[in-house]
A and B are shown apart, each in its own frame.
Chain A
Amino acid sequence: MTESTGDTVATISEFLDRHRDEIVADWSAATFFRAAGSTAEDTAADAAEVLGGVRRAIEHGEQDDPTAESFAALRGLLSAFTVPSQDQYFVSQAAVRMSRLKEPVLRLWQAEHSGDTGLLVEGVVLLSTAVSTLRLVLLDVALRSVLDTITSQREQLTELSTPVIKLWDGVLAIPLIGTLDSMRSQVATESLLQAILDQQAKVAILDITGVPTVDTMVAQHLLKTAMAARLMGADCVISGIRPQIAHTMVQLGIDLGEVATRARLADALAYALGRVGLAVAAPSDAAPAAPPSR
């Protein structure tokens, strides 16, 4: 069996070499390469390279492995590939166009080997596996381009959602919004600590009004942030704990320990001002609250 497969591979390899120009001409005319390449020569060169890849893949017995080195040429060709967000069938249509590449090769193969059924079938299986793998490569590339988009958007979201606000001299607030996963809370912690260092802030307010749910994970992140701020010499206050969240936290047995908590951001600000030795007074008082010195 292995012997005959080896023979078949050699025959296919020789067959692809011999009919190289015919297949390239057929492939260049196919919609897929017309779409990918720009000029006629480019298209032919691209098609020849992909065909070479198919031949190498069959020779190395890796015709069903989309990660194989042999398909690198196709991956390179597809790297400029971007999935338009409007067209939801774009990838599958490209895959269909690509599967039409199979037909010219198989037609030639059949014309040449119709006498020997065994060789014919084996060759058809190998060739069509190899060309089908091209579609898998296409899907992989398309998927990766989509994943890249998601990753970069996630990064943008992380940057957008963690602003550190200076409320007063020595008082910082970080309004946490949305679901806090490990990465987002790490970024939030880092930017808060950096702001504490830069502005020499005495008190930092972690406002969780915009956090929909607090589970043990989120509580752990909040505690870690508060602890790290304390190690640097700043106090942390957690504010914006809604009644339902307080309820859930107690039921989960979450203990925020020595970290101060306040119901609203306003309460936390009053507490923070007290910690830096300031108080807010009505203007009718003899000594109105001084504006921040800077």
Chain B
Amino acid sequence: MISLPSPWLRPPAPWTILHVDLADGIGPLDPGVDRPCLVVFRYKGAVLGYEHLLPSELPLTQAEHARLAAQAVAWNVRELVRLGGYNDEMLPNRIEMERLGATEKLLAQLDAVLAAQRSRPTALSASIVICTRKRPEDLAACLAAIEAERQAGREIIVVDNGPDAETEAVVRAVAGVRYVVEPKRGVNNARNTGLRTATGDVVVYVDDDVRPEPGWVDALLRRFDKPEVGVVCGLVLPEALETEGQIGFQYDLGFGGMGLKPIAFGRSFFELWYRSPPLWDIGASANMTVRREMALACGGFDGRLGPGAAGGSGDDTEFWYHVLLNGGEVRYEPLAVVRHRHRRTMRELKRQAYGYGIGHMVSLFAAWAQTRERLHVMRAFVLLPCWLAKRVAAAPMRWVMGNPDRVLVPFILGYFASFRHIGLAWARRPHLGEAAGAAPPATRDAQDWRRISSA
């Protein structure tokens, strides 16, 4: 999540997003636009930090640009250099303070770390699955963005969740892309269909509204270096911040992953939290990759959740939780970058907030159904209302300060709307293999840390 220096005084839309790669050397910063800028500092593609600049602060001289860039990236450069090749499990909040070796030539050290990371071989094959519903233009742009992968011979499957001829025409126009129909509504049903259809070891899920950057699949595949790694999520950047809706999507809803450090979530993720774990911190389903065998073995995605079914979000967090419960590991890889086309209008932003309100609760219901842990009840009926109450209390002041909390009301409405789905808390999780006659695994007991891979 890209955090603002302060929630106050956000300049009006439109903004410009500038990507500055420090490996190309640094020059004066003069974007030539009279707009607020979000500058994304990168090094050979790896995102290292952000800076927000007003038009009156531009242009910057070379030295000023270097100073701002250094202030923005130093923390993450240091962290990445410290982590080195990052093979082991890492927690979101690392408290140890190891010494940083040589402080000179930090970027050169980072270069070596990235090169080592990118040269690691991976033997896995990947299938790219695009789940779509009635957005043919988006789908066409998305297919164009992954053209290089198609030419490299990667299997690409489009799952059409609301079959229509236009979408089909878009897919048929591109050679070598498989078109599959899933008439049952719900993004998780489409994902399950993709899971069954795909033949690769790993299934790379892509939403139709994201534009992946080249090489994101390889970055994701490299993190499947242990058999228990079940899911790898990547970084989601905004494609554009042209409207208030898009800016709100980015900054008010906090969309887009877990920062700029690689993280591995395993059993310790549960043990670290005395509350129910903050699953939404893991990543975003817009950039998610799963190990196909493991996903099939633990029952696939829960078709009752997510857009098109229960509504809202929660489809992804429920799956991650399920994987973690079954002894899998979930990882976050910031080197795999996709750009997301945020919804443009305020109306869509509010609908999204409403969906988050539902999704948050629904995934807690589903989690409670699996584990019967009171932590989830606690979060659903104590912590979440308290958090909402706090936001309600702060709302008048934010309104006075000219930064009204636009997503609060829809979030509260979504919270209450989720009670429609409270039946999920007592229902059994559907299992993908049931139709084929496989027995559903016993996932009721949270202490059952069965290793899927060793089964």
Q: Is B one of A's binding partners?
A: no
